[in-house]
Amino acid sequence: MSTALEADPVVAAPAVSRKPQQGRSKASLERMLAAAEQLMIERGCEDFTLQEVSQRGNVSIGSIYLRFDSKDNLVRAVISDHLERMKEEEDRMLAVVTESASLNSFVAAYVEAYAELLKQHAPLLRLTMKRAENDPQVSEPGKRVALRVEDLSTAAMMAYADEMGGKDKELKANSSFHVIFATLARQLSLGSTGESVHDYDWSQLKRELGRMCLAYLKHAR
C-alpha cells in the first residue's frame, strides 16, 4: 500500500469530446458542461435533452454535436470535469488540515473538512456512481480518483505517526480513512442503494466519527 502517488492519475474519460482551441469555443464548451451538470443535479438523473442544454447554456445544437458524438459523451465529460474539480478541492483541503499541530487537531479538522467536501459534491457523485456501475469510461477514472484521495489521506495521517499507538501505523491510518469515507458516504446516500442509514444529526456524526478514529489511532494495539 503506497502512502503517496508518484504522479497524478489521468482523470478525463478518453475521447468523450473534441477539444476546442479558441477562447470563444472554450467558453461555449464550458457553458455546455455547466448547463448539463445543472440539469443533472436538479433532476437527480440524466433525464435531460440536448435541446435543454442548448437553451440553458445559450449554445446551438450544432455546436453541441460538434463537440460530442452523443449525449452519453456529454454526460461523461460533465463527470470528468467534476472529478477534476474534486481533485483540486481535495488537494486544497489536505494542504490546510496538514498544518494541524497534533494528531488530535488533525483528525478533527480532517473529518470536518472531508465531510463537508463530500456533502457539497454528493448530488453529482450519486449520479457518477450510478453510471459507473455500467460504464467503464466513468468507473475507471472514478476508481483512480478514489484511490488518489485514499493514498493522500493516508499519507497525511502518517505525518503524525509518532502520536499513534501500536505497530502497523500505516494500516491503521488507511483503515481510518476507509471508516471515515464509508460512514460519510453511507450517510450521504452514496452507496449502491441510494439510501442513508437514517436521519442522523450531521454535526454529531462528524464529531463522534472523529473521536472514534482518534481513539483507534492513538490507543489500539
Q: Are 89 and 151 in contact (CB under 8 A)?
A: no
Q: What is the CATH number of domain 78-219?
A: 1.10.357.10
Give the per-residue pLDDT at 41.
97
Give the per-residue pLDDT at 12.
45
Exposure b/e, 8-25, CB count within 10 A at least 16 = b: eeebbbeebbeebeeeee
Is 69 strand, coil or helix? Answer: coil
Q: Where are the domains of the chain?
A: 17-69, 78-219
Give the per-residue pLDDT at 21.
54
Q: What is the pLDDT of residues 179-209, one digit of tens each?
A: 999 999 999 999 755 555 567 899 999 999 9
Q: What is the pLDDT of residues 124-178, one digit of tens each?
A: 999 999 999 999 999 999 999 999 999 999 999 999 999 999 999 999 999 999 9
**Please, what CATH class does the domain formed by 17-69 belong to?**
mainly alpha
Looking at the predicted structure, is the pLDDT value of residue 15 above 60?
Answer: no
Q: Average pLDDT in the 94-123 region?
A: 97
Looking at the predicted structure, is the pLDDT value of residue 14 above 90?
Answer: no
- Asked if the domains 17-69 and 78-219 are classified in one and the same CATH topology, the answer is no
Give the per-residue pLDDT at 24.
75
Give the per-residue pLDDT at 138.
95
Q: What is the dihedral sign for C-alpha 97, 102, 105, 107?
A: positive
State the greatest distance between any 2 C-alpha atoms of the chain, in Å, as a whole number: 63
- Nine-digit cell string for 183: 460512514
Q: What is the pLDDT of residues 54-91, one digit of tens each?
A: 999 999 999 999 999 999 999 999 999 999 999 999 99
- For 1-10, 49-58, 173-182, 210-219, which range has the lowest pLDDT when averaged over its residues? 1-10
Q: What is the dihedral sign for C-alpha 8, 9, 11, 14?
A: positive
